[in-house]
Amino acid sequence: MKHLDRLGTGIGWRPEIAAAVERLPGLDWVEVVAENVCPGHLPDSLRRLRERGVTVVPHGVSLGLGGAGRPDPRRLAELAERAEALGAPLVTEHIAFVRAGGALTASPPLEAGHLLPVPRTRDALDVLCENVRIAQDGLPVPLALENIAALISWPGEEMTEGRFLAELVERTGVRLLVDVANLHTNRVNRAEDPLRALDELPVEAIAYVHVAGGVERDGVWHDSHAHPVPRPVLDLLAELCSRTDPPGVLLERDDAFPPGEELAAELDVIRAVLDSPPRRAPGTRAADGPAPGALAGLPDGARGAAGRDTADTTHPAGRANPADDAHRADDADTTHDAYPSDDADTTDTTDTTNATDAADAADGCSATGAADGCSATGAADGCSAAHEPVSPAGATAQCRAPDDIARERLGLAQAALLSALVAGTPAPEGFDARRLRVQSRALAAKRADVVARVAPELPQILGTGYRPAYLGYATSRPMRGGYRRDALDFAEQLLAAGRPEDPVARRRLAQWWRDRAGPRPPRRATRFVRAARAALVRR
C-alpha cells in the first residue's frame, strides 16, 4: 500500500467558522464537504488557505457506496472533479447507504438524507468491495472510507466492525478514515467494543482520524458534532496512537460553533494526546477499557476542554450486538448526512456528518443525478491491477464479485429498513423497534432542520407552527427529491389541507410556493392545488 504524506492536525472547514479557521494557529489542513464546493467557484477562505499551503481534503457524503446499487457515475465524476480542483492528496467517503429502492427492487426510490449502517454480512461486503473498486477506478487520487456511527444494528450480522473493515482493506486496498467518536457512539448504542475494533483494524491502512463531540440523551449517544470532544473519545484516540502514528487527525464541528479560541483549545487538546500517547507493545491491548492515564500530562485547561464522560459505557443502552455474542461463542468467522441532490430532485443521528452543510451547497453545485439503485455503470473488473488488494501480511486477497442476486437481496433489505424509517411502514423482522423509532424521529428532525435552512421563508411564514407541522408531514412522507423539492412538497401539502389557518400566512405561503414551483405537468394533484390556491385568493 503506497504511503500517504502526513497531514498533521486539522479541522473541518465550515462557512460559519471560515474566518475563525483561517486564524487558527498551527493549522495543517482542513476537510470540506465535497458536495458544498463548486470547482470553478471556491470560497475565498478556501482559496486563501490553499495559497498558504494548507491542504484541503474533500469529504463526500452522497455516494452511498454501501448501498445495493453501483455508484452513480455522475456523483463519482463530480467527486473526482472536486479532488482535482482542490489539489487534494486523497478523497474520503463513508461506509454507509443513503438511498434504497428503485429499479433494482422494483419499488419507489427512497432517500435517507442520512448515513445508515451497512449490514456486516458476506453479501454486503461483496457488494461494498465491488462498489469501492468502481469508485477507485473513477477517482484521480486514493480513496479512504469512514466508519459511521449508528443507532441501530442489523440482525444476523456475521462480522465485527474491525473484521469487516480489515477484509474490506484486504480485498480492495482502500484506505481507512477511522472516526474514534463513532467507535465511542457504537460502544454506547450498540454495545460494541471499540478496543477490539482497534485491535482488528489494519492500522497501516489508516489515512487519518476523526474526533468529535456528542451528547447522551435517554441512554442514547448522539454524535452531534455540536459539543466539545469528550474524554472517552480522547482516550480512544490515545489508544489508537498506541498502535500506530496516524498521518492526520481532524476535529469535526458542525453546529453550535464556539468562538475561535475554544476551537484552538480543542486542537491543543488533540495535539497533547498525539504528543504523549500511552506506549505499549504492539499486538497487546488493555484489559478493561482505555489505558489508565491516557490523558496524563495534559494541562488542566486541556482536560477541561475535553469535557466529561456523560455516558456509562459499562452498560450501554439497547441490546448487545449479536456479532459480539457470536464471537464469544465461536471465534471462527466474526468481525453518523448522505444528501440527495437538488438537481436530480432526489447528503449523518447518530452520524450527523455535515447534514445541513451539504444542503447549503450553491444551486448547480450539489451532486446531481439520482441513483436509482441500478446504475448504468458497468461491473468492476474484479481485482484490477490498479487496485490490487494486498493483505497486511502481503498475500493477495481472493476476489469475489457479487452476483445480481446478492445485490437484490441487499437492496430489498435496505429498502425495507429505509421504508420503515422514512415512510412509516412496519419494522422489518429482527430489528429493535424502539431503536427504529428513535432513528426515525432523528431523521425527521434532521429533515426539518435542513429544510429550514434551504427554505428559511417557511419558518418565517409559519412561525412556531413550522416544526410541528413539518414533523407531522415527514412522519409518513419520504423525500421525493432534494431538500428544496421537499420544501415545496411540504408547502403544497399544507395548502391542500387549507393550512395555515391564518389567512395572511396562507396567502404568503401560497405566493412562496407559486414563485418557486415553476411549470409542471398538470397532474391531478397539481390541478387540485391550483384550485385550492384560486379559492384562497377569492377569499
Residue 87: pLDDT above 90?
yes
Mean pLDDT of 259-282: 84
How does pLDDT run across 62-74, given as a tens digit for each residue?
999 999 999 999 9
pLDDT at 356 over 60: no
Compute the distance between CA of residue 421 and CA of residue 332 in angstroms, rounded to an integer. 34
- Of 37-46, 74-83, 403-412, 479-488, the one with minimum mean pLDDT is 479-488
Give the tens place of pLDDT for each residue, 115-157. 999 999 999 999 999 999 999 999 999 999 999 998 899 999 9
Of 463, 461, 469, 504, give the one whose Cα is nearest residue 489.
469
Is 43 a domain residue?
Answer: yes
How far apart CA 478 and CA 372 sit, in angstroms, is: 15
Position 255 pLDDT exceeds 80? yes
Range 498-502 average pLDDT: 95
The verdict on residue 357 lying in a domain is no
Residue 101 has pLDDT above 60, yes or no: yes
Is residue 437 predicted with pLDDT exceeding 70?
yes
Q: What is the DSSP string of 101-131?
A: EETTTTEEEEEEEEEEPPP-SHHHHHHHHHH
Q: What does the pLDDT read at residue 535?
A: 60
**CB-based contact 69:104 (threshold 8 Å):** yes
Question: What are the pLDDT digits (tens) for 165-193?
Answer: 999 999 999 999 999 999 999 999 888 99
Helix (H, G, I), strand (E, B) or coil at 10: strand
3-state secondary structure of 97: strand
CA 90 to CA 263: how far, in whole Å? 25
CA atoms of 494 and 474, how far apart (whole Å): 12
Q: Do the domain assignments include residue 156?
A: yes
Is residue 209 scored above 90 in pLDDT? yes
> If you average pLDDT over residues 477-481, what whole number do you get?
84
Is the predicted pLDDT of residue 475 greater than 50, yes or no?
Answer: yes
CATH number, domain of 106, equals 3.20.20.150
Sequence-distant (≥ 6) Cβ neighbours of residue 454 within 8 angstroms: 359, 360, 483, 484, 487
Q: Are strands 29-33 and 55-59 parallel, antiparallel or unpaired?
A: parallel
User: Does residue 81 register a pLDDT over 90?
Assistant: yes
User: Quick one: pLDDT at residue 530?
Assistant: 56
* Whether residue 29 is found in the same domain as residue 177: yes
Say what the pLDDT of residue 335 is. 30
Closest residue by Cα to residue 283 from 195, 155, 214 = 195
**Lowest-confidence segment of 251-255, 361-365, 529-533 by average pLDDT:** 361-365
**Residue 375 in this model has a pLDDT that exceeds 90:** no
Task: Please give the share of the chain, as a percent, with pLDDT higher than 90.
Answer: 61
Band of pLDDT at residue 423, cut at 50, 70 and 90: very high
Number of domains comprising the chain: 2
Final residue in a domain of this structure, among 303, 329, 355: 329
- CA-CA distance, 147 to 135, in Å (whole number)? 17
The verdict on residue 59 lying in a domain is: yes
| CA proximity to 229, closest of 302, 150, 317, 148 | 302
Over residues 498-509, the mean pLDDT reads: 96
Q: Give percent of the chain with pLDDT exceeding 70.
A: 72
DSSP state of 388: -
- Helices 483-496 and 524-538 sit at what angle, rounded to 10 degrees? 60
**Residue 305 — pLDDT band, cuts 50, 70, 90?**
very low
Q: Are 270 and 305 in contact (CB under 8 A)?
A: no
DSSP letter at 321 equals P
End of a domain among 300, 329, 358?
329
Residue 412 lies in a domain: no
Task: For residue 22, give the DSSP letter.
Answer: H
Asked, for residue 321, whether it belongs to a domain, the answer is yes
For the chain, the average pLDDT equals 80
pLDDT at position 139, please?
Answer: 98
Calculate mean pLDDT across residues 298-307. 41
Q: What is the DSSP letter of 230?
A: P
What is residue 502's predicted lDDT score, i.e. its pLDDT?
Answer: 95
Check: CB of residue 232 under 8 Å from CB of residue 195: no
Residue that terminates a domain, selected from 307, 329, 351: 329
Model confidence at 17: pLDDT above 80:
yes
Q: How confident is the model at residue 505 (pLDDT cuts 50, 70, 90)?
A: very high
Q: How far apart are CA 110 and CA 104, in angstroms?
A: 12
Write down the pLDDT at residue 253: 95
pLDDT of residue 462: 97
Whole-number pLDDT of residue 442: 87
Q: 93: which strand partners?
A: 145
The confidence band for 163, taking pLDDT boundaries of 50, 70 and 90, is very high
Q: Is 351 inside a domain boundary? A: no
Per-residue pLDDT band at 278 (split at 50, 70, 90): low
Identify whether 402 is preceded by a cis peptide bond (ω within 30 of 0).
Answer: no
pLDDT, position 342:
46
404 part of a folded domain: no
Cβ atoms within 10 Å, residue 87:
10
Indicate whether 123 and 270 sit together in one domain. Answer: yes
352 vs 151 pLDDT, higher one? 151
Q: Give the span between the Cα atoms of 458 and 469, in whole angstroms.
A: 11
pLDDT higher than threshold 70 for residue 45: yes
Please give the residue range of the domain that contains residue 471.
456-538
Mean of the pLDDT values across residues 409-421? 96
Instruction: Say how far apart CA 79 and CA 347 lie, in whole Å.
Output: 13
Q: How many angstroms separate the CA atoms of 331 and 335, rounded?
A: 9
Tell me the DSSP string of 473-529: HHTS---SSSHHHHHHHHHHHHHHTT-SSSHHHHHHHHHHHHHHH------HHHHHH
pLDDT value, residue 525: 58
What is the distance between the alpha carbons of residues 34 and 78, in angstroms, rounded to a whole number?
Answer: 9
Which band of pLDDT confidence, cut at 50, 70 and 90, is reported for residue 283?
Answer: very low
Q: Is the pLDDT of residue 79 over 90?
A: yes
Residues 505, 482: Cα–Cα separation, whole Å? 25
CA 336 centroid distance within chain: 5
Give the span between the Cα atoms of 212 and 197, in whole angstroms. Answer: 18
